[in-house]
Structures are given as structure tokens and as C-alpha cells.
Amino acid sequence: MSKAFEVRGEPHHVGPWPAWSWLGQDGMAEKARQLKVAVLYGGTSSEREVCLVSGRAMIEALGRAGTCAPASVTGVEIGADGLWAVGDRRLTPTQAIEALPTDTVFMIGLHGGEGEGGPLQGFLQVAGRAHTGTGVAASALCLDKIRSRQVFAQAGLSIAPGLEIWPHDLAGDLESQLARIADMGPGPWFLKPSLGGSSVAMGHARNATDVLNYLRNVNDLLPGEGILVEQAVQGIEITVGMLSTPQGSATCLPVVEIRPGGDGWFDYQEKYSEGGAQEFCPPKNLSKEAQVRAQAAASLAWTALGLTSYARLDFIVTATGDPVLLEANTLPGFTPRSLLPQAAAEDGLSFECLCVELCLRAWIDHTSHQHVR
């Protein structure tokens, strides 16, 4: 049945709810209006600046969500020193948790580091608090590009030719590492910190000199991390957003095509600057058949990784239509321009309602697990 919410003369949802939406289920919009939400943003990772943008966008969106808006929305900025700002107080995480109502839903607006890698999820779960996003194990697995590649390969998914370089390798002869990379085949190559995100400290190497320069400098940028080196795959870059459904399964959102400018790859500037990459949803240069193949690969990855709630899976689609999986993001960027919200909007749910949707399903998951225990 079609439902519509309208506030201040502006429709926040008109027409049928998407089949995957909890808000479209009987009584759930009313439940959403009772939620108390705390948005966690900022943090200590190398992606702090992006986290600030996502968190502020979430706070504003929840306040604009009309008659599905939560009863209260509290912004909790996690400082670079790890302290949590609750009102005018700067508290330890434990103190902050105790200062907020026990029925608060924590919307995680963090990327990378402690926010996306599992520690924060584990802390909230031990404290008995509801939170958005997937669980501890899947979060840790997806943040680690090297381990997640191993899972992709075991599941039969296509991945780019690649190898691992560890800190002890960098302490030796860098020329030998270059020889290993050359054995994969001709460049260019992408060099990625194993635990990074948002393309922070990512390198694009066209030749041996670029590779050596990156390897010489990376330990200063991210000491102690492994480096994933992947041969560049030629094709169309896309992403597939996924969400769990009220029916207990998962659904793929419409595919988003990414067309970088500049040097032709989706780096930090392309992702976040005003003149960055173009995104098309639906894609302009990808056949329906290729989109379906990419969504099928995303569904397989979702299951193999043990994902829940929501995620975004990034691919390169080759000229033969083969989707090559790059990585999975369990807490992808979250502004109206971000890729997963764009796909949800194409499927019929506004950014405002999507933010409410994720908080609602977090509360439902949390309370259902309590009942099971």
C-alpha cells in the first residue's frame, strides 16, 4: 500500500515504499518516531575529516525526516584524542555511554579505524547498546583488504592480480619487492594500505619509479601496516549498495557508475571535491546484463563476508562484462552525494528516510537479539 509523509509542505516520502524498507511495514513509522538516536562521528582514524562530514549530514537528515523523524537526535563528536563530546562535556567512551539513555540507538558515522574495523561495534555490543551497521567480525574482515581478498577468492569471485608487502619486506631490498610486482604483469598498479579507506595514502604507480617512491614513503605515513599491491584492471568502475530486508534476506540497490576525471582513478579528491568524479545511477555505459552480473557478485560477497544491515561493494566491470571485486565497505560515506544514498534514492527512498531506516533496523535487530537471549 502506498504511504506518504509530508511535513512543512515538502514530501519526505511519496509513493510505495521500497520492498526492502522497514519503514513501509505496519506500525514501523510510529516506532521510528519513538527512537532516541546518538550519531557518532569524527574519530581518531586517518579519515576523520570525512567522518565529520558524514556525521553532520546524518544529524541534519534525521532532523529533517518529517513525521518519521526520531524523538531525539544527539550528535556525539569523538575527538582526535578519543574523548566523546556529549553536550558541553568531554567524556571517556564508558562515561559517555552511561550519560545517554539505555534505549539510545547509536548511528555510526565513522569510516576506517576504530569505527569501521570492529572495536566500536564490540564496545557498544558489550555495553548492550543498539548500533547501525554490521557486526564485529564482518567489520574487521572487510576493513582488512588483504584478508577480505582471500575470502573473495575462496568464494569464487573475480579479483585483480595482487600481492602483499609487509613491514619486514620494506626493511629489506626494495628492488626485490619491485621484481615481485613486475612478475604480476605490466602496470599500472594500485598500492593500498591494508587497513585504510577513502583512498587515504593510496598510490597509483605507472612505473618502477612510482612504486619505489611509494614504498619508501609509506612507512612514514602508516607505520606497521601491510600494503596490498593490485594490478590495475581496465573497465568501468561501479558500486553496488546492499541492505538487509524485513524478510531476512538482502537486496541489491541500483548500480552506480563512477566516472573519474583527472588521472582516471577514484582517489580522495575525486571522491570528495566539488569537481570530482561523476556518478550515474542508473549507469550510462553498462548493459543491464552486466549490472545483473555485478549484483549477483555483490550478493555472493555479502554472504561470504557475513554482512548484515548495509554495505557497499566496489567493482571494475571489464569489457567482457566480468565484475572484478575491489573491496567491501561496511560504513560507506554518508552524505546525500555519497554512493549508497544515491542508489537508495533511485530505488525510492530519500536520504532523510534512509538515515531513519538504518536506525530503525538497528533497534529492531538489537531488541530481537535480546529476546532470543
Could you report the per-residue pLDDT of 222-246, keeping only the tens digit for each?
A: 556 788 999 999 999 999 999 998 8
Q: What is the pLDDT of residue 45?
A: 85
Q: What is the pLDDT of residue 8?
A: 32
Burial of 246 (0-12, 13-18, 19+ CB in 10 A): middle
Domain boundary residue, one of 231, 257, 289:
231
> Rounded to the nearest 5°, which phi and psi values hold at 153?
-65, -40
Q: What is the pLDDT of residue 265?
A: 47
Q: Which residue has the cell 533511485?
A: 346
Higher per-residue confidence, 311 vs 2: 311
Does 339 reside within a domain? Answer: no
List the catalytic residue out of 327, 347, 352, 357: 327
Could you report the per-residue pLDDT of 319-335, keeping only the tens digit for each?
A: 999 999 999 999 998 98
Are both 210 and 323 inside the same structural domain? no
Buried b (16+ CB within 10 A) or exposed e, 68-89: bbbeebbbbbbeeeebbebeee
Give the whole-angstrom CA distance, residue 68 versus residue 16.
Answer: 15
What percent of the chain has a predicted confidence (pLDDT) above 90?
A: 64
Start-end of H helices in 64-144: 93-99, 113-116, 119-126, 136-143
333 tagged catalytic: yes
Are both 296 and 148 inside the same structural domain? yes
List the catalytic residue out of 272, 310, 350, 357: 272
Domain coverage including residue 208: 162-231
Q: What is the pLDDT of residue 169?
A: 78
Are both 201 and 94 inside the same structural domain? no
Could you report the per-residue pLDDT of 262-284, keeping only the tens digit for each?
A: 655 444 444 445 556 789 999 99
Are both 248 and 319 inside the same structural domain? yes
276 tagged catalytic: no
List the catalytic residue out of 45, 194, 329, 338: 329
Q: Number of structural domains, the chain?
A: 3
Could you report the per-residue pLDDT of 332-372, keeping only the tens digit for each?
A: 989 888 999 999 999 999 999 999 999 999 999 999 876 44
244 tagged catalytic: no
pLDDT at position 1 over 60: no
310 tagged catalytic: no
**CATH no. for residue 202?**
3.30.1490.20
Does 355 reside within a domain? Answer: yes
CA distances from 19 to 16, 30, 349 (A): 8, 18, 11
Give the whole-angstrom CA distance, residue 373 versus residue 371.
Answer: 5
Are both 237 and 217 inside the same structural domain? no
Are both 152 and 36 inside the same structural domain? no
Domain boundary residue, one of 200, 231, 262:
231
Give the whole-angstrom CA distance, residue 163 versus residue 362.
Answer: 37
Give the whole-angstrom CA distance, residue 257 versus residue 339.
Answer: 9
Could you report the per-residue pLDDT of 243-261, keeping only the tens digit for each?
A: 998 888 899 999 999 998 7
Give the whole-angstrom CA distance, residue 188 versus residue 200.
Answer: 18
List the catalytic residue out of 279, 314, 352, 357: 314
Does 338 reside within a domain? Answer: no
Q: What is the pLDDT of residue 264?
A: 53
Are both 168 and 154 inside the same structural domain? no
Are both 316 and 257 inside the same structural domain? yes
List the catalytic residue out of 48, 149, 312, 361: 312
213 tagged catalytic: no
pLDDT at position 6 over 80: no
**CATH no. for residue 112?**
3.40.50.20
